Amino acid sequence: MENKQVLKSGEFLVREVTPADIFIPEEFNEEQLMIAQTCRDFLQTELYPIVDKIDTPDTNLMKNTLKKAGELGLMGIALPEEYGGFGQSFVTQMLVAESIGAGYSFSVAFMAHTGIGTLPIMYYGNEDQRQRYVMRLATGEMIGAYCLTEPGAGSDANSGKTQAVLSEDGKHYILNGQKMWITNAAFADSQVVFAKIDRDRVLSAFIVERTFPGVSVNPDEHKMGIKGSSTAQIFYNDVKVPVENLLGSRGEGFRIALNILHMGRIKLGANVLGASKKAINDSVKYANERKQFGVLISTFGSIKHKLAEQIIRTFALESAIYRVSRDIDIQIEKNIAEGMDKGRASIEGISHYAVEAAILKVYGSETLDFIIDEAVQIHGGMGYSAEMAVERGYRDSRINRIFEGTNEINRLLVIDTAMKRAMKGDFDLMAAAEKLMTGLDQVAEMKPSSEGYYDEKMRYIRNFKKAILIAIHGASKAFDKKLLYEQEVLNNISDMIIELYIAESTALRVSKLEALKGSGEVALYKDILDVLVYDAADRIRKAGCDAVYCFADGNHADRLANSMQSLAVVAGFNVKEARRRIAAKLTGDNQYKF
């Protein structure tokens, strides 16, 4: 196990790490880069030539393309070798998710199969279930699906009505109910289905095969985007599920669902990273070809601004993704060393970082939405034409803010989970906040007489953390147990936390990159970091002040708001020229090479 300081989930709010303690994408080894290239080659040879056809109602085309991925071994990246996989690290799994993310609706079908369709059985199944299902899911012989959502149970998953009753002979559970928005529904061979046994308060989970009598699948839904991804309702009418197909123990389904969703969220963050890079490549290639007023549009300042902002947000997202991915790997290794089963060790390691998973889901999906929207704008009228890839990307992007729990739910999870982890004793959040309140007027850490570049950035970030702690302290004191119902305030604080984590991850990456490659190689990355922190400070100030005026008034509110203002002060600089330098590299390379 690596001898590195690894923070617990949410602990970044009160503690610091050094650049040496994190993993950055520039450290991928040769095997990881080869796997990523295999994924990209697969998209080039097997997907892009049929990308228009795969968006038609012919679900066999998607199923066959998935099976081709299975034949190449791409389905088994996350699975141990003894179950037909390659036993790759979580970092590598995230790199595969990123690489496949450029595959439009195929990436949805692929990620549903390899993630939520397969890993619940790998992580929670017994040896018999793993042998019967995981071995075949690893090769693509079987395609998997995950069946949680119901017409009356979306974000509130535990309110589902699907029921399972033990048969009189004790050999089967009789399953009745309905599931909706099920990815891969038209052709999935196995389904992880959540239902309540008898009158249980919480869910249990079952492995159901589509060939079981009583399983019926509706025609595919007509959707705004991801049209090639099969999405349909599934009905269960007196389906006899063998008792040996109960996944985990009775009543463990809700825990399984939550933990698998944590995994889905964090992998979605990587998935949209790949889609973002694809949209950037489409943007710059068009900008370098399209002329207006006799010159390439890539020479216009407004287009340079758009291209640079696409780069900044993508680079920042990537920094955060691989930072937490290695933390998860270390946590998994620790769990295994303590004697935990590999499957449970993996899911417990992933679900431990629930705060970061929610951050990446929100920031990633909103980053892609921004980038693909700007890609359409860069294309002008052609961006609205179905002839261009960005039109498909625009429609496909929108679902990501709803998938794996809406962004509204995930914003609440960021702050709620962090506070619960603190109350559980993982780190002392309120003590750190209380300490700040004793000297509120001098709370901002001021610039020393001599300060290096990264020292300055980390001082800003420490101040951002103080602003968040003050907001948490004030909201908690003002609302107490009613804070749960103050979603606007919780959203303000969550936005502050998201901005902080992304900025800190990027600062750590650029600092480590300079240590690896030298100062001459990171000038542009400092431009990225400068703009990111400059903009993050403004958003943190705004969200902090908005929160303060919701839970305080009079002189106290003004005093708190003044603290927010002082804690969000960063040095000004020429953001236009910084963005122009970033855009110049992109247009010169004619592709994302950051």
Each residue's pLDDT tens digit, 494-522: 999 999 999 999 999 999 999 999 998 99
pLDDT per position as a tens digit, 135-166: 999 999 999 999 999 998 777 777 889 999 99
SS3 content of the chain, % helix, strand, coil (to 5): 65, 10, 25
The CATH number covering residue 280 comes to: 1.20.140.10
Is there a contact between 226 and 104 (Cβ–Cβ < 8 Å)? yes
- Of 195-199, 436-440, 549-553, least confident by mean pLDDT is 436-440
Statement: residue 304 has pLDDT above 90 = yes
Residue 204 located in a structural domain = yes
Residue 48 counted as domain residue: yes
Does residue 398 share a domain with residue 463? no
Q: Is the pLDDT of residue 326 over 80?
A: yes
Mark whether 97 and 61 lie in a shared domain.
yes
Percent of the chain scoring above 90 in pLDDT: 92
Half-sphere exposure of 180 (CA within 13 A, CB side): 10
Confidence at 436, pLDDT banded by 50, 70, 90: confident
Give me 391's structure tokens.
């039109």
| 436-459 average pLDDT score | 88
pLDDT in the model for residue 2: 52
Boundary residue ending a domain (142, 168, 186): 142
DSSP string, 297-318: GGGSHHHHHHHHHHHHHHHHHH
**Residues 213, 177 share a domain:** yes
Tell me, what's the pLDDT at 4?
66
236-246: string of b/e by CB count within 10 Å (b at 16+)?
beebebeeebb
Asked whether residue 308 falls in the same domain as residue 197, the answer is no
The chain-wide mean pLDDT, for the chain, equals 95
Are 266 and 366 in a shared domain? yes
Mean pLDDT within 471-493: 96
CATH of residue 171: 2.40.110.10
Cβ neighbourhood burial of 381 (10 Å; 0-12, 13-18, 19+): exposed
Per-residue pLDDT band for 330 (boundaries 50, 70, 90) equals very high
Burial, 177: exposed, middle or buried (Cβ in 10 Å; 0-12, 13-18, 19+)? buried
- Share above pLDDT 70 across residues of the chain, in percent, rounded to a whole number: 99
Q: How many helices (H) and strands (E) does the chain have?
A: 19, 10
Residue 316 has pLDDT above 60, yes or no: yes
CA distance 574 to 273: 28
Report the pLDDT value the prediction gives residue 102, as an integer from 0 to 100: 98
Does the structure show a pLDDT above 60 at 1? Answer: no
**Tens-digit pLDDT profile for residues 475-485:** 999 999 999 99
pLDDT score of 440 more than 80: no
What confidence score (pLDDT) does residue 158 get?
79
CA dist 347 and 350 (Å) reads 5
Provide the residue range defining the domain that includes 200.
Answer: 146-247
Whole-number Å distance between alpha carbons of 322 and 112:
21
Residue pLDDT, tens place only, 275-294? 999 999 999 999 999 999 99
Residue 159 has a pLDDT of 83
User: 10 vs 6, 326, 420, 535, CA distance in Å?
Assistant: 11, 15, 10, 22
Q: Where among 120, 142, 164 does a domain terminate?
A: 142
Residue 217 sits in the same domain as residue 365? no
Please tell me what DSSP assigns to residue 572: -
- The residues annotated with a catalytic role in the active site are 404
Quickly list DSSP for 394-439.
HHHHGGGGTTTS-HHHHHHHHHHHHHHHHHHTSS-HHHHHHHHHTT
472 and 395 within one domain: no
Higher pLDDT, 544 or 436: 544
Instruction: Give the model's confidence band at 434: pLDDT under 50 very low, under 70 low, under 90 confident, else very high.
Output: confident
Structure confidence at residue 435 as a pLDDT band (50, 70, 90): confident
Q: What's the structural domain count of the chain?
A: 4
Pairing between β-strand 215-217 and β-strand 231-242 as defined by DSSP bridges: antiparallel
- pTM higher than the cut 0.85: yes
Which pLDDT does position 57 carry in this prediction? Answer: 81
Which of 382, 409, 436 finishes a domain?
409
Alpha carbon distance 390, 386 (integer Å): 8
Whether 279 and 405 map to the same domain: the answer is yes
Q: Are residues 381 and 480 in the same domain?
A: no
| 55 and 106, same domain (yes or no) | yes
